[in-house]
């Protein structure tokens, strides 16, 4: 692993139910990133289809084809790609984030916390496992949207060795201040990099504000998008992360004898 990594969060307007159109948009964006030597790209939540619940079962049937296209791109451009897609297994549907590296699906994470105000819990099944995976760019953890409100998950990912956490989201405009605050908090309290991709534009009655961002372990916003489609990029400096963890040794100073530890 090199001392630095050039990473990106991909932000675009997801067209509900339009898998091939969304795939074409993503591949075009990834192609532009490859020309800028980006090694890690994070895509939004359910980026191929949106939350088109009435058609999601059939739309999920296209996910293997989408993964194949991303795998071929990943292999050709030596890029790690992380993003959430609808996954069908038997009669169950999941909101699943895939980690693709060198053309291979290295891991998948099924969203643990389903957002009941948007009926996600009525249409999808929750996962039961966390994911931290070794990749060609380093050891990364994975989370999805509503997961951001649960600090225990991010502490677990970091304790399992994640140095960077990828978050795919469809986070709506009314709670934009929560988005910024929680992303910085998760980075600071765990001393990890956060690469978070949100969508933008309007879907049904909801406005999505974008603001995809990359945050340092210090809580510094290294890159942040506006509300329009774009790719944000920043250097991930592993040496700076290690130096900061030594300067502020919060991990060593935990009092697990008093408040316990995650097991």
Catalytic residue numbers read 45, 111, 145
State how far the Cα of 8 lies from the Cα of 212, in Å rounded to an integer: 9
Let me know: does 22 contact 15? Beta carbons within 8 Å.
yes
Cα end-to-end span (Å), the chain: 28
| C-alpha to C-alpha distances, 130 to 21, 117, 137, 193, 256, nearest whole angstrom | 31, 23, 19, 18, 22
State how far the Cα of 169 lies from the Cα of 147, in Å rounded to an integer: 9
- Strand 164-169 versus strand 193-198 pairing type: parallel
Q: What is the 3-state secondary structure (H, E, C) of 129-150?
A: CCCEEEECCEEEEEEEHHHHHC
Give the burial class of 260: count Cβ atoms within 10 A of its Cβ; 0-12 exposed, 13-18 middle, 19 or more buried: exposed
State how far the Cα of 98 lies from the Cα of 81, in Å rounded to an integer: 8
Q: Tokens 């389903």 sit at which residue?
A: 114
Beta-carbon neighbour count of residue 206 at 10 Å? 15
């Amino acid at each position: 692993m090199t001392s630095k990594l050039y990473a990106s969060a991909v932000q675009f307007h997801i067209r509900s139910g339009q898998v091939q159109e969304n795939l074409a948009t993503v591949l075009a964006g990834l192609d532009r990133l490859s020309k800028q030597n980006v090694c890690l790209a994070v895509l939004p939540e359910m980026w191929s289809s949106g939350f088109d619940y009435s058609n999601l079962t059939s739309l999920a049937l296209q996910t293997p084809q989408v993964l194949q296209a991303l795998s071929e791109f990943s292999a050709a451009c030596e890029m790690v790609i992380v993003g959430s897609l609808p996954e069908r297994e038997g009669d169950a549907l999941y909101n699943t984030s895939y980690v693709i590296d060198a053309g291979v699906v290295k891991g998948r994470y099924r969203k643990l916390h389903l957002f009941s105000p948007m009926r996600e819990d009525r249409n999808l099944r929750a996962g039961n496992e966390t994911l931290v995976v070794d990749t060609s760019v380093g050891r990364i953890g994975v989370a999805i949207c509503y997961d951001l409100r649960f600090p225990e998950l991010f502490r677990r990912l970091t304790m399992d060795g994640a140095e960077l956490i990828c978050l795919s989201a469809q986070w709506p405009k009314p709670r934009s201040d929560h988005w910024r605050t929680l992303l910085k908090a998760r980075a600071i309290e765990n001393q990890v990099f956060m690469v978070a991709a949100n969508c933008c534009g309007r879907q049904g009655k909801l406005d999505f504000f974008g603001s995809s961002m990359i945050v340092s372990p210090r809580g510094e916003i290294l890159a942040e998008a506006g509300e329009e489609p774009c790719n944000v990029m920043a250097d991930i400096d592993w040496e700076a992360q290690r130096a900061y963890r030594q300067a502020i040794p919060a991990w060593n100073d935990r009092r697990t004898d008093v408040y316990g530890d995650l097991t």
